[in-house]
Structures are given as C-alpha cells and as structure tokens.
A = this chain, B = another copy of it.
Amino acid sequence: MANGYSTVSVFIIGTEITRGIIADKHGQLIAKELTTLGYHVNRITIVPDDGTIAPLLRDCVRLTDIILLTGGLGPTSDDMTRDVVAELAGVPLVRDEAAFAHLYGRIGERIYGANLRQVMIPQGFRIIENPKGTAPGFAGELPVEEGSGEFRHVRCYAMPGPPVEMHEMFYHRILPELAQLTGHEGIGRNEYSCFLTPESRLEDLCSECAVGPVLWGTRVQEYRISLYLNGGTSDQRSEMASRISERLGKGLLVPGDVEVVDLFTRLLEEKGLTAASAESCTGGLIGKLLTDREGSSAWFWGSVVSYANDAKVRLLSVDETTLKTHGAVSGQTVVGMARNLRELSGTDMTIAVSGIAGPGGETPDKPVGTIWIGYAVKGREPVAVRLQISSFGRSSVRRRAAIAAILLGSFHLNGADLLDIVGTWQYI
C-alpha cells in the first residue's frame, strides 16, 4: 500500500482462552474486517495474562507493520498490556488526566488503587476512549531498529478484552482510522442493522443479493445483526442493501447502528406519548429493554408480566371465557391484555405479547414460536397480529418476540397496517 502499512499482527490476551474456558471471537472478527480493507493478517496469537506477550511482541515487531492487542487492560495485576507496551516503546507509563477525569466521573471516590492503573498509558501514546467501560484503550508507535541506526515505526493499538467494549472501540475508532490509512478513502463502507433474522439466513441473502465488487461482513449482537457493506460504489452498496431489504421484508434492515428499542422510544418522545406493556412469554424482557434507557420514567408506566393465566385474569381482567375458548396464546387474549391495561394505566399506548417460547407447551395449531402481539392506542381500535418465529431455542424465541413487539409498536404508532408489514417477513 502507498503508505507502507500492510501487515497486521493480532494478539489476544486472556488466560480464560488459553485454558480453553472460553473461545476467542475477537480474532476472527478483526481478521475479517482487516482482510476486507486489504490488510494481510500474518498471525493471530492468543496468550495468557502472565506476561508471555512480552517476548512475542518483541519478536513480532520485526515482522509486521501494525499490532492490534485486545485484553490485559483491566485493573488487576494480570493486566500487563500497558507495562509490556511501554517497555517495548522504551518509555515510562504516565497518567492520562482526561482518562482519569472520565473514570472519576464514572465511579467517583471508589477509585481504588487497582482502578487507577487503568488510566496509565505509555508516554507519547494517545488514549482511545471507551464509552462502554472503565479501561480506555491506547495507540502509539513502537520504534524498531532496522540496522545502521535507521528506525521504522510499528503502529500499536491496545483495546480492552470484554466484547461490548472492544467492539465499540474497534468498529467506531480503530477500523475507520485503519481504513483511512490504506489510502482507500475510496473504499466506501455502509453499516446497517438487521432485526429478527437468523444469521445463516442473512448470510445466504448477502450471497444471493451481491452486487459487483461489494463485500459484506456481519456481526451478531444480542438483539440484532450489524451488516457492513464494503467497497464498490455508493450506488452499488445501496443497490445491494435494497435487494437484501426487499427479500427480508419491511422494516427489517435499516441504515446505521440502530437498536429497535431506540426507534420506538424516540417515537414516543417525539410524539409525547406514554406507554405500558403486558407480557406473558417474554417474562419481563420488554419492560427490561424499555427501562434500560435512561429517562424512561418520563414515558414508561410499567409492565404487567402476567405469566400464569390467573395473573392475566387478576391483574388485567382478561375474560376467563376468552382464555378457555381461544387460549392464552390468541389474538383475543392479547387484545384483552392491551385494551384492559390501557384503561387501567391511562397511558397512550400499550403492547401485549403472548406466545409459546418452548420447549414444550405447543399444540398442533400453535407450534413453538407462535407469538400473538396486540396493541391498544388511544382513540383507535385495538389490533392483534400473529407471528411464527422459527425456533432456535427458548431464549432466542423470547428475544425475537420482544423485539418484534417493540418494532411493530413503532409501525403501529406511525399508522401502518401491521398485517401488511408482517406479510412481507419471510425469514423470521
């Protein structure tokens, strides 16, 4: 590459991995993204937290242009990354005052001695902020003597090990920087968020919908999959995204880094509406997701988790005849739950969910994954819609039932016809 950066060595630090307790996932994720950008990954090395990294890094700088490290940035004595890098760079560790102020803001007087280690970085390096945790990352250059007094500089990036922190830092700070370094400012990249779709299905769709030289990568998160389209022209990437979106169905692929919960809560805030939920199979997950958001008390009244039928009757006055005739998993039941909760709570809208999360509990006409979702909105007739979610286990069905209920809640607030939306969903 024009600027001379091309070979990358990746180091993953974690004794849980070299002891086989957990599997490393960072290596593949980093390798995939960097390969897409045109880098050559010449090794992924996993080492324990015991300083083994030191001689390996020393040997490695001779053979690479860029070093990426994950892990070993925590507060404990095992977390030696910063010491090892400082020693290799031949500089002392110094306290970064901005990082100290940030950590102090987060945890205040509980900054123990151990926590303080987290705001030390090798002198001359710069902090990379960690919005999802306490340990910042850092970046800088390691001098390598090339003989006859000449020096070459190896770029070095250190990231925390916990996936949620590492992903944020890698995707939003380090990867953009490395993309720019390749001089491929021309390598365009778009990010999308995909909901409710199994990963294997999305991968197949990407193959089927490929356009020209556009490459793709996916990242499975707890409540969605991030899809990255790289290369080609902006039009080609848009074309590919449109094709995938059309195949998936309405509203399941949206541009950007977006959670379904945010789509819904932003809409409530914009419209100045209040809401409540009535849950059965999701067991409290909808309430949990909505109240994860700071400030949710401004618009969230509560969630009635009526798990047992008796709870549906006592808490939500669902008609016992309805339960007997149509069952707890039925349009009539979720409409009753939504309507009665709206009356009880006085909120502007309610969401109700009842379904078969499994294992067990299915009937011939209601297999595992059958989900009924109902809505009651002030001044409108209550509605209900049925979904059939493919079962990848109890936890997956519950997660997708909650996400579908919140996503369709946004559509319903915007006046869309739910049957029209759900009818286009092919692969949930």
Chain B residues with CB under 8 Å of A15's CB are: 217
Residue pair B200, A114 in contact (C-beta under 8 Å): yes
Residues in B neighbouring A344, C-beta threshold 8 A: 314-315
Chain B residues whose CB sits within 8 angstroms of the CB of A331 once the complex forms: none
Q: Is A77 among interface residues, defined by CB-CB distance under 8 A?
A: yes
- 14 A-B pairs within 8 Å (CB atoms) are namely A20-B29, A21-B219, A45-B46, A107-B391, A162-B220, A279-B284, A283-B290, A283-B292, A291-B398, A292-B395, A297-B307, A301-B311, A302-B304, A303-B307
Q: Is the interface of A mostly helix, strand, loop or mixed?
A: mixed
Is the beta-carbon distance between B77 and A203 smaller than 8 angstroms?
A: yes
State A124–B284 Cα separation when bound (angstroms): 47
For A305, the chain B residues whose CB sits under 8 A away are 284, 287, 291, 302-305
Bound Cα distance from A228 to B359, whole angstroms: 33
Segment from A52-60, A248-256, A377-385, A413-421 that makes contact with B = A52-60
Bound together, the chains give a CA A106 to CA B395 distance in angstroms of 13
Contact call A32/B43, Cβ cutoff below 8 A: no
- A188 contacts partner chain B, Cβ-Cβ < 8 Å: no
A210 → B minimal CB distance (Å): 11
Q: How many copies does the complex hold?
A: 2
A23 at the interface (CB under 8 A from B): yes
Candidates B199, B307, B361; contact of A287 at CB < 8 Å: B307
Please report the C-alpha to C-alpha distance between residue A294 and residue B110 in the assembled complex, in whole angstroms.
39
Which residues from chain B contact A204 at a C-beta distance below 8 Å? Answer: 112-114
CB <8 Å contact, B19 and A35: yes
Flag if A48 contacts B41 (CB, 8 Å).
yes
Q: Are A52 and B42 in contact (CB under 8 A)?
A: yes
A410 near B: Cβ within 8 Å?
no
For the complex, give the distance between the alpha carbons of A199 and B110 in Å: 13
- Residues of chain B lying within 8 A (CB to CB) of residue A110: 198, 390
CA distance A295 to B357 in the complex (A): 11
The answer to whether B74 touches A199 (Cβ under 8 A) is yes
The docked-state distance in angstroms from the alpha carbon of A290 to that of B198 is: 25
> Is A177's beta carbon under 8 Å from chain B?
no
A200 to B119, CA, bound (A): 14
Per-residue contact bits, chain A 73-104, to B (CB 8 Å; 1 contact, 0 not): 01111100000000000000000000000000
Residue of B with least CB distance to A50: B42
Q: Do residues B20 and A33 form an inter-chain contact, with CB atoms below 8 A?
A: yes
| Residues 366-400 of chain A, each 1 if its beta carbon lies under 8 Å from chain B, else 0 | 00000000000000000000000011111100100
A267 within 8 A of B: no
Docked-complex contact B32 and A28, CB < 8 angstroms:
no
Contacts A49-B217, A283-B287, A292-B398 supplied; 8 other A-B pairs, CB < 8 Å: A18-B41, A20-B32, A41-B48, A45-B45, A55-B59, A55-B63, A284-B286, A302-B304
A47 contacts B by Cβ under 8 Å: yes
For residue A234, CB closer than 8 A to chain B, the reply is no
Q: Is the CB of B30 within 8 A of A76?
A: no
Chain B proximity mask over A195-230: 1 for CB below 8 Å, otherwise 0: 000111101100100000000011110000000100
Does A16 reach chain B (CB closer than 8 Å)? yes
The answer to whether A25 has its CB under 8 Å from any CB of chain B is yes
Q: How far is the CA of A31 from the CA of B22 in the complex (A)?
A: 10
- A148-200: which have CB < 8 Å to B? 162, 198-200
The residues of B that contact A228 with a CB separation of less than 8 Å are 21
A273 within 8 A of B: no
Q: Which of B59, B162, B217, B300 contacts A307 (CB 8 A)?
A: B300
* Closest B residue by C-beta to A52: B42
CA distance A294 to B52 in the complex (A): 43
- Which residue in chain B gives the minimum CB-CB distance to A221? B22
The yes or no answer to A422 lying at the interface (CB within 8 A) is no
Q: Tell me the chain A residues, 296-335 only, with Cβ under 8 Å from chain B.
A: 296-297, 300-308, 310-311, 314-315
Contact, CB under 8 Å: B18 / A294: no
Q: Which of B20, B218, B398 is in CB contact (< 8 Å) with A28?
A: B20
- Tell whether, in the assembled complex, residue B302 and residue A307 are in contact, meaning their CB atoms are under 8 Å apart: yes
